Amino acid sequence: MHLTHLACTLCGQAHDATLPQNVSACCAKPLFAHYDLAAAARTFTKDSLRTRAKSLWRYREVLPVRADTDIVTLGEGFTPLLPAPRLAAKHALRSLWIKDEAQNPTASFKARGMTTAVSMAKQFGLKKLAVPSAGNAAGALAAYAARAGMEAHIFMPRDTPRANIIECEQMGAHVTLIAGLITDCGAEVAKRKTAEGWFDVSTLKEPYRAEGKKTLGYELAEQLNWTLPDVILYPTGGGTGLIGMWKAFDEMEKLGWIGSARPRMFTVQADGCQPIVRAFAAGEKFAAEHLHATTRASGLRVPKAIGDFLMLDALRSSRGGAVAVPDDAMIACTREVGALEGVFVAPEGAACYAALKTLLAAGTVQPEESVVLFNTSTGLKYLECYGG
């Protein structure tokens, strides 16, 4: 609505927002959407939110779609921020919340990014969208493309959770299973997209999935009465949510809604796939590919992320960190969270609780700090992880 231009996240060079774009022409890095926030602020106020629908489109002025008629929605966003008092008491924590993204359409946080990406694809008149996915992004694209009357071409590893594969097939997507990882799926999309006429909506290889994900930051602030938590633990594969929240905090400060204080951001990865954890520990600006990546948490099995430098910058700027968690700890923590709080979290969400235990034991997080854990999907999509 108030979108002015796109800019390269590495060098800052401006790009035309009136054309469909993938990565920046200058550096082949992600593009960020930029807005006229002064113009947005004329109608976009804290008070204005009180009467708006409880979806992510309540933040309409800082989302990129020009016309309401191009919005492709299934009612995504404004998921509950659930207090977790029994988990908090177990660790003598002052305040602990779970942001439960499983309550989105398609039961994962990926709905946020796909509503904005597909809406912009509709605005641009695109007809065929393609994505490599570890599972949940595929389901979200299948749903929103179907809603918009577009073709969805999806490439997933063969061992993607069966629920994700069935979900895509039942929503009419063209599904191809690849013997390999998400990076191999991405290579297949890149090889075929020009000849097939597909537009690539891979993580951070188009500018607008991050815009949907940034609404996580707006929601957290609004749900906590405009006071951000001390600590955020976020499970990280491609990292769009973490990057998007960091962008949202900057926008909200410019709008005058929050001050300069930021949560300490912690990325959580799996022991068997931890490129960001390793790069953070080594003080690197970019993260080397994690070779032979393996983890039962399919959403964390992303061996190379194009937004690596953006994640690492947010972690360091916030005085946060990066934690790797064993698969067995994730699976055990799924049961612990479920038994104490009644939330059947995905392994990626359970990884955040496992990481919190590590950070508390090390004294990195203190009991008096307020903490938000992100659960990105439902455990129902990962039944293979739980035996039986």
Give the domain CATH number at 94. 3.40.50.1100
- Mean pLDDT for the stretch of residues 374-379: 97
Domains in the chain, number:
1
Rounded Cα distance between 158 and 154, Å, is 12
Q: Is the pLDDT of residue 328 over 80?
A: yes
45, part of any domain: no
Average per-residue pLDDT for the chain: 97
pLDDT at 134: 86
336, part of any domain: yes
DSSP 8-class letter at 162: H
- Mean pLDDT for the stretch of residues 38-58: 97
100, part of any domain: yes
68, part of any domain: no
Rounded Cα distance between 119 and 113, Å, is 10
CA nearest neighbour of 247 among 7, 48, 42: 7
Given pLDDT bands bounded at 50, 70 and 90, which one contains residue 388? low
At 203-251, the pLDDT tens digits run: 999 999 999 999 999 999 999 999 999 999 999 999 999 999 999 999 9
CB count in 10 Å sphere of residue 289: 13
Q: What six digits make up the tokens of 326?
A: 């064993």
At 98-131, the pLDDT tens digits run: 999 999 999 999 999 999 999 999 999 999 999 9
pLDDT at 365: 98
259 by Cβ neighbours in 10 Å (0-12 / 13-18 / 19+) ranks as exposed
At 139-165, the pLDDT tens digits run: 999 999 999 999 999 999 999 999 999
Contacts of residue 12, defined as CB under 8 A and 6 or more positions apart, other chains included, come to: none
- Mean pLDDT for the stretch of residues 302-327: 97
At 341-360, the pLDDT tens digits run: 999 999 999 999 999 999 99
pLDDT at 223: 98
Given pLDDT bands bounded at 50, 70 and 90, which one contains residue 386? confident
- Mean pLDDT for the stretch of residues 132-142: 94
Query: Between vectors from CA 279 to CA 274 and to CA 282, what angle results, nearest 5°?
Result: 125
Given pLDDT bands bounded at 50, 70 and 90, which one contains residue 286? very high
- Residue ranges of alpha helices (H) inside 124-199 are 136-148, 162-170, 182-196
276, part of any domain: yes
378, part of any domain: yes
pLDDT at 1: 77
- Mean pLDDT for the stretch of residues 284-305: 94
Sheet holding 151-157, edge to edge: 174-178, 151-157, 128-132, 199-200
Query: Between vectors from CA 223 to CA 218 and to CA 225, what angle results, nearest 5°?
Result: 95
Largest CA distance in the chain: 58
The answer to whether the predicted template modeling score (pTM) of the entire model surpasses 0.85 is: yes
113, part of any domain: no
CA nearest neighbour of 289 among 184, 385, 213, 173: 184
Is residue 189 within 8 Å of residue 130, measured between CB atoms? yes
Rounded Cα distance between 354 and 357, Å, is 5
Query: Between vectors from CA 386 to CA 384 and to CA 388, what angle results, nearest 5°?
Result: 90
Domain extent at residue 101: 81-108+207-386
Kindly report the backbone phi and psi dihedral angles of residue 374, in degrees, each rounded to the nearest multiple of 5, phi listed first: -100, 125
- The CA radius of gyration of the chain, in Å to the nearest whole number, is 19
Q: Tokens 């602020």 label which residue?
A: 41
366, part of any domain: yes
At 51-101, the pLDDT tens digits run: 999 999 999 999 999 999 999 999 999 999 999 999 999 999 999 999 999
